[in-house]
């Protein structure tokens, strides 16, 4: 099968408008005759469900949480990019497009990314109209900040809770459509199978998480907005419930899985503290604007710190290695996420890591506090005619302490809530001792393969947001995930879905009594029964933890062929053991959280193996995928555009059969491929 991305012909800037004009429309009076299933209620899912219902379609919206408002989009802190150029600093749709393509290490589709940049401006308008309380300046206009090393200030934010506010906006729009009777909500309901007949997606089979009932839902089209698969690694910044089951089940039914090895490791997370650890917490990337990353120069010092014999304050300035500033003088601490993460791994591998486990580096605010403090104090000093003595007398504190106090105030205003969060979790005060951070799995760029219309390789099945592979290439830029989720849901799918629906007509819908549904139901029930019948020794978490360890070790921040091959064998063994030795208590016909987990972990194990296959196939380093065999002399990622400028789209071929690789060649007409350099 040849993959057809359906990118429109013509000039880049006109593609989307032309496409919108060329695709079919559904007559307004006919829209109410179409049913659409939306799985997931995050930014992509909620915005799509709301927008489609506004157009007149009948929408069924599913989520496994108790309310649509809990989807993990809510946890995004930093912000959302948009090419508004409100700051007059030279931003434009083309610049956002260019930054995104380049940041993604040239592994994404030009037409998609350009469209994303175009609609980014509409998203902000839409969200403000919904009442999203973005940060504002005194003049009442929207505030922006520069984020993730971008050269312009194009990030809109709502305190450190941008994801929450955007999601609540979409959730409220969704709620409005529920009240209008156009959306029916199915909370605490998990999709366990996709139903296909005659090559078209016809509906889904779900489990009611409270009663355990297996139910079928039929529709003209199915939208998967079920997020990423970072939880393959067990420890990640994803929510505990985030899972890949919806995507993976669709994949097994024929949807290609694209670029599964592209995972993003976020550099600033709170390090692991013990084996009981259940999840990792992200500290906003904005911290790197003021914090300096360092480890001791000498391994002995690092060792002493690990054993508690020395504190970071004991390490003199000249004994500290500010390794990012040293290696990347022009970008310093603000290098992109993949570079920052990889370098943290290197210094820890060298034995210079800190913290009890040795898997942490310092993020130090001392200099920022002093720098900001000095500014304030010097400006206050003028009032005392520059006399330090009088100043000290008036303030009742020594000069140096005043610098610290004033500086602390400034840092507190910027990052107060983050510092509090850090202190709550670690019991360390980051104003007094440096923070400790370590990279953690954060986002997955890979996902179901989709064409320009966001349709997967199965007709009538769409994937939106993090669930698809589309716009971030091999590495996602900060504040771009929220943008993509909302772009897909608010501004892409409402147009592109019409093309398909108009083509098939409203009569083309399957009854849930059809044997295709019955078969899928039987399949799901058998899977559940099988899990409940094993009654083995090991818990689901045991398996999940083990899977995570293998993936992190061999398919994490850096990978090599030997390790990957070894890991593949380990996962196969683990999977075999899982199906013979997992212990799932309770019954199906009740709220059974162990069973829910078991179903998800079973799918993670299969997906983990595919990630390894993909990482093995891609014999180059790009973005979040770093193959040790392919690096420059200085240890930077070495891309191979000649042979690997393609999207790998994997087809499922059956239980224990090798996947089949399909390649979508990427062509770049508007950007020149360059080696990323942050030196």
Closest approach of Cβ 618 to other proteins, in Å?
31
| Closest CB to other proteins among residues 281, 631 | 281
Q: Which stretch binds other proteins (CB under 8 A): 163-171, 291-299, 335-343, 562-570?
A: 163-171
Task: Collect all residues with Cβ–Cβ distance below 8 Å to 276 and sequence separation of at least 6.
Answer: none
Q: Which stretch binds other proteins (CB under 8 A): 166-174, 225-233, 404-412, 459-467?
A: 166-174
Closest approach of Cβ 494 to other proteins, in Å?
7
Per DSSP bridges, beta strands 361-364 and 435-444 are antiparallel
- Under the binding rule (CB under 8 A), the answer on residue 323 touching other proteins is no
Per DSSP bridges, beta strands 58-62 and 361-364 are unpaired
What are the backbone angles phi and psi of residue 471, rounded to the nearest 5°? -95, -5
CA 612-440-67 angle, to 5 degrees, is: 95
Closest approach of Cβ 11 to other proteins, in Å?
24
| Closest CB to other proteins among residues 585, 667 | 585
One residue of 12, 44, 47, 524 binding other proteins per CB under 8 A: 47
- Under the binding rule (CB under 8 A), the answer on residue 462 touching other proteins is no
| Closest CB to other proteins among residues 159, 503 | 159
Task: Please answer whether residues 63 and 186 qualify as being in contact, where contact means their C-beta atoms are separated by less than 8 angstroms.
Answer: yes
Closest approach of Cβ 73 to other proteins, in Å?
10
Give the span between the Cα atoms of 533 and 265, in whole angstroms.
37
Binding to other proteins in span 246-285, by CB under 8 A: 273-274, 276-279, 281-282
CA 235-469-93 angle, to 5 degrees, is: 115
Other Cβ atoms less than 10 A from the Cβ of 252: the count is: 17
- In 3D, which of 205, 200, 206 has the Cα closest to residue 220? 200
- Under the binding rule (CB under 8 A), the answer on residue 178 touching other proteins is yes
Q: For residue 49, what are the CA distances in angstroms to 250, 466, 509? A: 19, 16, 19
In what helix (H) or strand (E) does residue 326 lie, and over which residues does it extend? Answer: helix 323-327
One residue of 254, 332, 358, 494 binding other proteins per CB under 8 A: 494
Give the span between the Cα atoms of 139 and 391, in whole angstroms.
34
Q: Which stretch binds other proteins (CB under 8 A): 144-152, 234-242, 446-454, 473-481?
A: 234-242
Give the span between the Cα atoms of 293 and 265, in whole angstroms.
17
Closest approach of Cβ 41 to other proteins, in Å?
11
Closest approach of Cβ 679 to other proteins, in Å?
34
Per DSSP bridges, beta strands 200-208 and 214-218 are antiparallel
What are the backbone angles phi and psi of residue 440, rounded to the nearest 5°? -150, 155
Q: Which stretch binds other proteins (CB under 8 A): 133-141, 297-305, 362-370, 570-578?
A: 133-141
Binding to other proteins in span 109-128, by CB under 8 A: 122, 124-128
Size of the site for other proteins (CB under 8 A): 80
Binding to other proteins in span 567-586, by CB under 8 A: 583, 585-586
DSSP 271: P
DSSP 657: P
Other Cβ atoms less than 10 A from the Cβ of 508: the count is: 14
Give the span between the Cα atoms of 373 and 401, in whole angstroms.
10
- Under the binding rule (CB under 8 A), the answer on residue 450 touching other proteins is no
Closest approach of Cβ 418 to other proteins, in Å?
12
Task: Collect all residues with Cβ–Cβ distance below 8 Å to 366 and sequence separation of at least 6.
Answer: 434
Binding mask 349-388 for other proteins (x = CB under 8 A): ----------------------------------------
| Closest CB to other proteins among residues 131, 398 | 131
One residue of 20, 33, 176, 409 binding other proteins per CB under 8 A: 176
Q: Which stretch binds other proteins (CB under 8 A): 48-56, 304-312, 429-437, 566-574?
A: 48-56
Binding mask 621-650 for other proteins (x = CB under 8 A): ------------------------------
SS3 41: coil
- Under the binding rule (CB under 8 A), the answer on residue 497 touching other proteins is no
- Under the binding rule (CB under 8 A), the answer on residue 240 touching other proteins is yes
For 191, how many CA atoms within 13 A lie in the half-sphere containing its CB? 30
One residue of 171, 229, 328, 644 binding other proteins per CB under 8 A: 171
Task: Collect all residues with Cβ–Cβ distance below 8 Å to 409 and sequence separation of at least 6.
Answer: 376
Closest approach of Cβ 66 to other proteins, in Å?
6
| Closest CB to other proteins among residues 126, 648 | 126
For 291, how many CA atoms within 13 A lie in the half-sphere containing its CB? 26
SS3 53: helix
- In 3D, which of 406, 252, 417, 262 has the Cα closest to residue 337? 262
Beta strands in 299-395 (DSSP E): 320-321, 361-364
- Under the binding rule (CB under 8 A), the answer on residue 165 touching other proteins is yes
- Under the binding rule (CB under 8 A), the answer on residue 135 touching other proteins is yes
| Closest CB to other proteins among residues 134, 323 | 134
- Under the binding rule (CB under 8 A), the answer on residue 590 touching other proteins is yes
Closest approach of Cβ 32 to other proteins, in Å?
16
Give the span between the Cα atoms of 464 and 620, in whole angstroms.
27
- Under the binding rule (CB under 8 A), the answer on residue 173 touching other proteins is yes
| Closest CB to other proteins among residues 174, 611 | 174
Binding to other proteins in span 67-96, by CB under 8 A: 67-72, 74-75, 84, 86
DSSP 10: S
CA 611-340-481 angle, to 5 degrees, is: 60
Partnered with residue 443 across adjacent β-strands are: 264
Task: Collect all residues with Cβ–Cβ distance below 8 Å to 400 and sequence separation of at least 6.
Answer: none
Length of the chain as a residue count: 679
| Closest CB to other proteins among residues 324, 421 | 421
What are the backbone angles phi and psi of residue 39, rounded to the nearest 5°? -100, 120
One residue of 490, 604, 626, 652 binding other proteins per CB under 8 A: 490
Binding to other proteins in span 189-218, by CB under 8 A: 210
One residue of 30, 153, 433, 539 binding other proteins per CB under 8 A: 539
Q: Which stretch binds other proteins (CB under 8 A): 5-13, 235-243, 633-641, 664-672?
A: 235-243
One residue of 90, 139, 308, 658 binding other proteins per CB under 8 A: 139
Task: Please answer whether residues 223 and 48 qualify as being in contact, where contact means their C-beta atoms are separated by less than 8 angstroms.
Answer: yes
Give the span between the Cα atoms of 460 and 196, in whole angstroms.
10
| Closest CB to other proteins among residues 233, 262 | 233
| Closest CB to other proteins among residues 68, 312 | 68
- Under the binding rule (CB under 8 A), the answer on residue 505 touching other proteins is no
Closest approach of Cβ 280 to other proteins, in Å?
9
């Amino acid at each position: 099968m040849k993959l057809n991305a359906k990118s429109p012909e013509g000039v880049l800037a006109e593609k989307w408008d032309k496409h919108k004009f060329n695709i079919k429309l559904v007559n307004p009076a006919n829209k109410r005759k179409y049913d659409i299933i939306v799985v997931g209620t995050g930014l992509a899912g909620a915005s799509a469900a709301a927008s489609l219902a506004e157009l007149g379609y009948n929408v069924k919206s599913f989520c496994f949480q108790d309310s649509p408002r809990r989807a993990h989009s809510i946890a995004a802190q930093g912000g959302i990019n948009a090419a508004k150029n409100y700051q007059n600093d030279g931003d434009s749709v083309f610049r956002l497009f260019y930054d995104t393509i380049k940041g993604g290490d040239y592994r994404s589709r030009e037409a998609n990314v350009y469209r994303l940049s175009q609609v980014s401006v509409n998203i902000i308008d839409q969200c403000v109209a919904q009442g999203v309380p973005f940060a504002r300046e005194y003049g009442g206009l929207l505030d922006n900040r520069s984020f993730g090393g971008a050269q312009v200030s194009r990030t809109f934010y709502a305190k450190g809770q941008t994801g929450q506010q955007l999601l609540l906006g979409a959730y409220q729009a969704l709620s409005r459509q529920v009240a209008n009777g156009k959306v029916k909500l199915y909370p605490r309901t998990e999709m366990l199978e996709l139903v296909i007949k005659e090559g078209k997606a016809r509906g889904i089979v779900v489990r009611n998480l409270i009663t355990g009932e297996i139910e079928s839902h039929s529709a003209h089209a199915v939208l998967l907005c079920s997020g990423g698969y970072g939880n393959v690694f067990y420890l990640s910044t994803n929510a505990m419930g985030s899972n890949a089951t919806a995507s993976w089940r669709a994949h097994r039914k024929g949807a290609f899985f694209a670029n599964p090895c592209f995972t993003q490791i976020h550099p600033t997370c709170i390090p692991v503290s013990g084996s009981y650890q259940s999840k990792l917490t992200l500290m906003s990337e904005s911290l790197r604007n003021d914090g300096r990353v360092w480890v001791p120069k000498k391994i002995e010092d690092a060792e002493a710190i690990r054993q508690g014999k020395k504190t970071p304050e004991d390490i003199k300035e000249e004994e500290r290695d500010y390794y990012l500033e040293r290696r990347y003088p022009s970008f310093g601490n603000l290098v992109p996420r993949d570079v920052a993460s990889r370098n943290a791994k290197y210094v820890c591998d060298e034995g210079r890591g800190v913290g009890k486990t040795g898997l942490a580096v310092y993020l130090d605010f001392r200099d920022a506090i002093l720098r900001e403090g000095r500014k304030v104090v010097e400006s206050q000093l003028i009032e005392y005619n520059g006399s330090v003595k009088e100043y000290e007398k008036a303030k009742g504190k020594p000069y140096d302490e005043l610098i610290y106090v004033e500086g602390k105030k400034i840092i507190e205003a910027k990052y107060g809530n983050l510092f509090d969060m850090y202190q709550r979790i670690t019991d360390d005060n980051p104003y007094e001792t440096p923070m400790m951070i370590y990279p953690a799995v954060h986002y997955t760029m890979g996902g179901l393969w989709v064409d320009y219309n966001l349709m997967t390789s199965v007709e009538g099945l769409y994937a939106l947001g993090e669930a698809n592979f589309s716009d971030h290439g091999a590495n996602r830029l900060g504040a771009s995930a929220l943008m993509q989720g909302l772009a897909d849901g608010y501004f892409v799918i409402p147009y592109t879905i019409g093309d398909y629906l108009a083509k098939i007509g409203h009569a083309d819908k399957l009854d849930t009594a059809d044997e295709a549904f019955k078969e899928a139901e039987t399949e799901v029930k058998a899977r559940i029964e099988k899990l409940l019948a094993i009654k083995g020794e090991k818990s689901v978490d045991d398996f999940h933890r083990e899977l995570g360890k293998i993936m992190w070790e061999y398919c994490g921040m850096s990978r090599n062929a030997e390790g990957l091959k070894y890991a593949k064998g380990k996962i196969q063994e683990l999977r075999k053991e899982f199906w013979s030795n997992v212990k799932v208590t309770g019954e199906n016909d009740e709220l059974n959280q162990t069973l829910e987990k078991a179903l998800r972990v079973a799918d993670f194990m299969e997906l983990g193996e595919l990630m390894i296959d993909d990482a093995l196939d891609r014999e180059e380093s790009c973005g979040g995928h770093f193959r040790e065999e392919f690096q420059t002399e200085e240890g930077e990622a070495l891309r191979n555009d000649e042979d690997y400028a393609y999207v790998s789209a994997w087809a499922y071929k059956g239980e224990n059969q090798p996947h089949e690789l399909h390649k979508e060649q990427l062509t770049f007409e508007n950007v020149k491929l360059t080696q990323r350099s942050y030196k």
